Structure 1
Amino acid sequence: MRPNQSVFTNIFPEPSTEHLLAWNVPPSELVHIPEHWLTYPEPEASIHYLLGLLYIVFFFVACIGNGLVIWVFSSAKSLQTPSNILVINLAICDFIMMLKTPIFIYNSYSRGYALGHVGCQIFAFMGAVSGIGAGMTNACIAYDRYTTIAKPFDGKMTKTKAAFMVVCVWGYALPWAVLPLLEIWGRFVPEGFLTSCTFDYLMNSFDNHMFVAVIFVCSFVVPMSMIIYFYSQIVSHVVQHEKTLKEQAKKMNVESLRSNQSQANQSVEIRIAKAAITVCFLFVASWTPYAVLALIGAFGDQSLLTPGVTMIPACTCKFVACLDPYVYAISHPRYRMELQKRLPWLAIKEPLGEAQSTTTETTTGPPPTDAT
């Protein structure tokens, strides 16, 4: 009897197969699996099948949503603004995030590490580059929103500047995916039910602890700090601006200094800003559990990391990659207008006046940011 087996079986009955995880993995592949996972029982087949079904839904919902965003924003002249280059890049990151899900689905319906080391490396590489890329793209979008609202003349985005920021995003993300892929620093390994893969946060060595700490700072703390700073500045600027307008209106004995058109344009801007904050909040909500999980694995009590627990953040990242494009659809009048023209069977009814807001045309793009 394994240690603590009796306690475990009182809470969760032992699977009928009485197999441990990796029971169906060839001996040559076992070297790639952290020993931590090999002590847990194999989950019931229905758990694998349900997760596989969930990922099938994620795959189709995200690919359709992000595919529409990439298509419409790339081809519609009214949406080809510098700011929207960042939006397209975020959709590409989310799209890449979901392109790896067939590997997970195949592994789930094969009940384990079916595609082996090669499949694991592909899965983890795509997840690392798209996840970190999405985080930094969200930070760039937060910067763009900040400069648009707080410095509308000095900080105007140009296509050259936006393209340069996209190049910087990929230049920043790629090393963190290549280093563990080539096992120069860190490595990619299976986790949880051995159907998904990520960087190794369980290896107990100084080099690995340093890798986890550094990638935590660079891929989570840095974009998160930028997002929080820029959006806090936006809120501060808007509050101060509204206060100034109200004081000025009071002095002039009028109800408001805004014209009807100005108020309509501002309404569109506020909706777009809210969408940007929403997408960035989704990014924070999806990647924070993964960051905490990695820190526990490297520096905390590893017994807390059961296979089932580690599958939760893996699912939240994919869920956010599904939601992002639909946040654009809800919030961006121009995007909905283009969908209405190109896909009339969607029955989208966008008021023409709001969709033709000059402000939206020239200075904004739907904000995103992966998830996961």
Structure 2
Amino acid sequence: MNFTEGPMAEAYGSEGGYNMGYPAGVTIIDMVPDHIKHMVHPHWANYPPVNPMWHYLLGMVYVILGFFSFTGNGLVMYLFFNHANLRTPANKLIFNLTFSDFCMMLSQFPWFAYNCFNGGVWSFSPFACELYACLGSITGLCSLWTLAFISFDRYNVIVNGMQATPLSNKGAMARLGFCWGYATMMAVPPFFGWGKYIPEGILDSCSFDYLTRDDIMIRTHGMALIVFNFCIPVTIIAGAYVMIVKAVTAHESAMRAQAAKMNVKDLRGNADANKMSAEVRIAKVAICNVTLWLICWTPYAKIVAQGVFFDQSSITPIASMLPALIAKSASGYNPVVYAINHPRFRLAMTKSFPGFCVHENEPDNASTATEANTTQEEKA
């Protein structure tokens, strides 16, 4: 690995870049406290210490993410508990997504920020490193599978229409139980030998080991995470929204064609139009949310897949740390997407916080009837 020229010289330090006062031959592992060194993968011994600027920069970014995550997710949970009309089966999935995102930031932010501003390496015990990584895995996987169920619910409502079996409270709770149970089932095994939790990147955070290849238990755990917790959920999500787009497009085309034959502008009444508009609007919100999630998590999935299957030489401390940080930023934008775009949440925000920047008008009579019918269907 050449650190004497190009961007690497500036990022890592060299005679041609910034040496930051470190003696020649010092690696990033040398900066780690002795009680944690046995956990660090030998791969990181190929890299010198990073510029301390990176630790402070990442720490500040995490402070900002923490603020938005705690504020946004906390607001959505407050609205959910204080407005009965929000507590529908479908919205329970949204609440679970918000709750898991809140827990993710709660379990990750304090540890990471402390390390960033206090030496830039993992400062706590080996068990704390494993616990940090485990909690991050549970909440991250729970959020992903919750999004998969939200996507399927939207598919069921929009594509199947009146023939759809509405989501019941029992069905919603069963899905939430699966999300948390499955996430825990995948995150706990590293404590018992299937997989391993270790410091990663610039070594101020921990995650599962995706670099070890000579231990079949560790490598198969990484493979399982990629296949069952990225590829399969993403396939479900993408498939659901492809079908939604096709169904909505086909429906609109059929309605326009029939209206043209009858020489009228629109065949739908106000209630039907409002209901269809609400369904399409909710689908757009969910599609936006899933797209943002993919933008956040795909870079990290790429790094993990590269570590498990391909050439590891380009997995530098910064190259692995930035995707991990981007992935955790998913916990900050979900409440913004739903609070700003979901009509019910907007109306609840207007009622609870009239001085806030969100103002949603009360629906008219037709919209109210449609809303009541939709709520009744969701409670069935």
* TM-score normalised by L of structure 1: 0.91
Report whether the alignment pairs 1:141 with 2:157.
no
- Whether the 8 Å contact between 2:39 and 2:198 is mirrored in structure 1 is yes
Structure 1 residue identity aligned to 2:331: A
Cα distance in structure 2, aligned partners of 1:322 and 1:241: 35
TM-superposition CA deviations, 1:190-221 (whole Å, max 9, x none): 11110111110011223322221111111101
Give the match for residue 38 of structure 1.
45
- Whether the 8 Å contact between 1:189 and 1:199 is mirrored in structure 2 is yes
Give the match for residue 58 of structure 2.
51
The 1:67/1:362 distance shift into structure 2, 3 A limit, reads farther
Q: Secondary structure at the match of 2:313?
A: helix
- Whether the 8 Å contact between 2:303 and 2:320 is mirrored in structure 1 is yes
Provide the aligned length of Structure 1 versus Structure 2.
Answer: 361
Structure 2 counterpart of 1:106, from 80, 105, 114: 114
TM-superposition CA deviations, 1:158-205 (whole Å, max 9, x none): 11111111111112111111011x142001111111011111001122
Report whether the alignment pairs 1:218 with 2:218.
no
Q: Which stretch shows the higher mean deviation, 165-174 or 111-120? A: 111-120
Give the match for residue 378 of structure 2.
none
Give the match for residue 173 of structure 2.
163
- Whether the 8 Å contact between 2:35 and 2:125 is mirrored in structure 1 is no
Structure 1 counterpart of 2:343, from 333, 342, 353: 333
Q: CA deviation at 1:259?
A: 2.5
Q: CA deviation at 1:363?
A: 3.7
RMSD: 2.0
Give the match for residue 84 of structure 2.
77
Q: CA deviation at 1:345?
A: 2.4
TM-superposition CA deviations, 1:53-84 (whole Å, max 9, x none): 11011111101101111121233111111100
Cα distance in structure 1, aligned partners of 2:330 and 2:3: 36
The 1:155/1:116 distance shift into structure 2, 3 A limit, reads same
Cα distance in structure 1, aligned partners of 2:371 and 2:95: 16
The 1:108/1:188 distance shift into structure 2, 3 A limit, reads same
Q: Secondary structure at the match of 1:190?
A: strand
- Whether the 8 Å contact between 1:193 and 1:307 is mirrored in structure 2 is yes
Q: CA deviation at 1:299?
A: 1.7
Report whether the alignment pairs 1:293 with 2:271.
no
Q: Secondary structure at the match of 2:199?
A: strand
More contact order relative to length (CA 8 Å, sep ≥ 6) = 1
Structure 1 residue identity aligned to 2:139: S
Structure 2 counterpart of 1:16, from 21, 29, 39: 21
- Whether the 8 Å contact between 2:90 and 2:167 is mirrored in structure 1 is yes
* TM-score normalised by L of structure 2: 0.89
TM-superposition CA deviations, 1:113-162 (whole Å, max 9, x none): 21131221122111101111111100100110011112233321111111
Q: CA deviation at 1:223?
A: 0.7
1:138-287 pair list within 5 angstroms? 138-153=147-162, 154-180=164-190, 182-205=191-214, 206-287=216-297
Cα distance in structure 2, aligned partners of 1:267 and 1:308: 44
Identity %: 35
TM-superposition CA deviations, 1:32-63 (whole Å, max 9, x none): 11111133221222221111111011111101
Q: CA deviation at 1:22?
A: 3.3
Give the match for residue 370 of structure 1.
none
The 1:310/1:343 distance shift into structure 2, 3 A limit, reads same
The 1:37/1:283 distance shift into structure 2, 3 A limit, reads same
TM-superposition CA deviations, 1:309-346 (whole Å, max 9, x none): 11111121222211110001221111111111112221
The 1:360/1:136 distance shift into structure 2, 3 A limit, reads farther
Report whether the alignment pairs 1:67 with 2:65.
no
Q: Which stretch shows the higher mean deviation, 38-47 or 196-205? A: 38-47
The 1:322/1:354 distance shift into structure 2, 3 A limit, reads farther
Cα distance in structure 1, aligned partners of 2:90 and 2:363: 22
Cα distance in structure 1, aligned partners of 2:17 and 2:192: 37
Q: Secondary structure at the match of 2:198?
A: strand
Structure 1 residue identity aligned to 2:21: S
Structure 1 residue identity aligned to 2:259: A
Give the match for residue 368 of structure 1.
none
Cα distance in structure 2, aligned partners of 1:12 and 1:119: 35
Q: CA deviation at 1:359?
A: 4.2
Q: Which runs of 5+ in 2 are unaligned?
A: 376-380
- Whether the 8 Å contact between 2:4 and 2:17 is mirrored in structure 1 is no
Cα distance in structure 2, aligned partners of 1:257 and 1:223: 38
Structure 2 counterpart of 1:306, from 310, 316, 321: 316
TM-superposition CA deviations, 1:64-110 (whole Å, max 9, x none): 10111112123311111110010011011111111121100111112
